[in-house]
Amino acid sequence: MKLEASSGEDMEPAMANQHFAIFETAIGPCGVVWGERGITGVQLPMGDEAKTRKRIHQRNGEVTEATPPAEVRSAIDGMTGLLQGKPNDLADVVLDLGGVPEFNRGVYDIARRIPPGKTMTYGDIAKKLGGVELSRDVGQALGRNPCPIVVPCHRVLAAGNKPGGFSANGGVVTKLKMLQIEGAVVNHTPNLFD
């Protein structure tokens, strides 16, 4: 798996020459934002294409819609396939995570190693980063994940393998749908708030 601009002086993502594209998936219209050094963002569906496009502009400012280059097209194909139930770890997708805190990059690196159809807990990731007391920090990092699907935050569960939170549009229902597509087993009984 490839993470670029992860340390050193060049910490900011390359804002110049950033572009985006909308693509249709089994869970709705998603978006991808890219620059010269890789993908800088993935937008989960916001209900319809216009709302997804609006959210991309809210988060990324003046990015222009464009035809994706080959490597971004390949990432889109991988994400689309994954959301159709075709296992793909998306490890070959190059991300530009410049400007993302080092701790968060560590969380994302571990999350990217979770295979489709499998899950980990916030505590599991926290232990790999130094101790279970970091579980809340792991949850916060995943809540700020700029590249969902590629960084599969939906595969990270709360204690007891319960779904926990999910900040994407649709919340836990979207998370559960993505996990169901991948064939993951989740300990969840729907309640009034789902």
Three-state DSSP class for 42? strand
Q: Which residues pair with 64 in a beta bridge?
A: 19
* Alpha-helix residue ranges (DSSP H) falling in the chain: 49-60, 70-82, 102-112, 122-128, 135-143, 171-182
Residue 131: both structure tokens together = 């101790």
Annotated active-site residue in 153, 168, 176, 184: 153
CB-facing half-sphere around the CA of 10: CA atoms within 13 A: 9
- Find tokens 């194909």 and name the residue: 77
Active site residue 153: yes
What residues are annotated to the active site? 153
